[in-house]
Amino acid sequence: MNDKTTPLYVVCSPCRGVGKTLVSRLLTEFYVLDRRPVTAYDLADEGPRLADYLPQFTTISDIGDIFGQMAFFERLIADNDRTATVIDLSHRTFKSFFTVVEEIGFFEEARRRAIEPLILFIIDPDPKSPEAYASLHRLMEASLLPVWNRTDPSAISDYDAPPDASATPTSLEIRLLGFSLRALIDRQAFSFCEFARAKPADLPDSLDDELRDWVENVFFQFRKLELMLRCVDASTPVLAPALRRPRTTRRPFPPLPAV
C-alpha cells in the first residue's frame, strides 16, 4: 500500500467534563504501546490536563492570539514525517479553533500533504452538543466521528462479543467502567502502556480482565479508524504482540478486513 496517510486526530466538544482528555490519552498511548511515533498537543486550560498524564509526549499550546495560531498550525503540517498527531481541544477554544481552521483551509492543506484529519466529537446531552456537531458536519472538510463516552454496556448489543471487524466505523464507543476502575485510570500516575505490560499490584484478576477487555476494545476501534483513514493496512497487528502479557482469560481479536 503506497498511498498511506498520516492521521491527525482532533478530540473535541463544546462542553466541559465529557472525557476529551481520556480519549486523547488512550489514542496517544495506543501509538506509544505499538512503538509508533506520536505527538500530542494540549489545548486545554484546566486540569487534570493531557500534559499532566503524558508529559513526555505532550506539548502545551496556546492559540489565543494570531502568533500562537500561526505557530501551532504551521507546526502541524510543516513536516509530515509519519508521526500521528493528537489534539486535545479545550471546550473554551472549540469555536475559535474551528473558525481558524475554516478560514485558512487547514484541513484541505493537510490532505494535500497526505495528512488525514479526523474530528472525534464527544457526544453530550447538553443542547450545545448536537448544534455544534451539525455545524461541523456542514462546514468542515474532514472526517467527523461521534464518540459515545461512558456508554452503559447494557445499551450495547452483544456487549461480550468481540468488535465487528468488517463494519466501517460510524462511531467510537468508550464503555462505562465501574467506579473502582475509573478511579484507577483517573490517577495521573496511571499508564495504559504500563497496564498492558504488567498487572497493577493488588488488582483482582476479575478487575484486571475487565480493564483489559475495555482497553483492548477501544484499541481495536482505533485500528479500524486507521484502516478507514488509510493509515495502515490490515496486516498490521492490533497491538505489538511482544508487549502483551498473560491474563486469566483471553478473547482473541477477529481478523481485520482486507483493504
Is 258 part of a structural domain of the chain? no
Give residue 250's pLDDT: 54
How far is residue 123's CA from residue 149's CA, in Å, rounded to a whole number?
7
For residue 80, give the amino acid letter.
Answer: N
DSSP reduced 3-state for 172: strand
Residue 41 lies in a domain: yes
pLDDT, one tens digit for every residue, the chain (259 residues) = 457 899 999 999 999 989 999 999 999 999 999 889 999 999 988 889 999 999 999 999 999 999 999 999 999 988 667 899 999 999 999 999 999 999 999 999 999 999 999 999 999 999 999 999 999 998 887 899 999 987 644 444 433 444 555 567 889 999 999 999 999 999 999 999 999 888 888 899 999 999 999 999 999 999 999 999 988 887 777 665 445 666 655 555 555 555 4
Among 167, 104, 109, 128, which residue's Cα sits nearest to residue 15?
Answer: 128
**Into how many domains does the chain fold?**
1
In a domain, 57, yes or no: yes
In a domain, 253, yes or no: no
DSSP state of 87: E
pLDDT at position 158 = 38
Is there a domain that residue 194 lies in? yes
Q: Are 167 and 228 in contact (CB under 8 A)?
A: no
Nearest to 61 by CA among 88, 35, 81: 88
The answer to whether position 167 is within a domain reads yes
C-alpha torsion angle, residues 31, 90, 181, 167 (rounded to 10): -50
The C-alpha cell of 19 is what? Answer: 472525557
Q: Tell whether pTM > 0.85.
A: yes
CATH number at residue 61: 3.40.50
The answer to whether residue 25 sits within a structural domain is yes
**Residue 120 grid cell:** 472525534
Answer yes or no: is 254 within a domain.
no
Which structural domain, as residue segments, surrounds residue 184? Answer: 6-243
Within 10 Å of residue 109's Cβ, how many Cβ atoms? 14
Tell me 202's DSSP state.
T
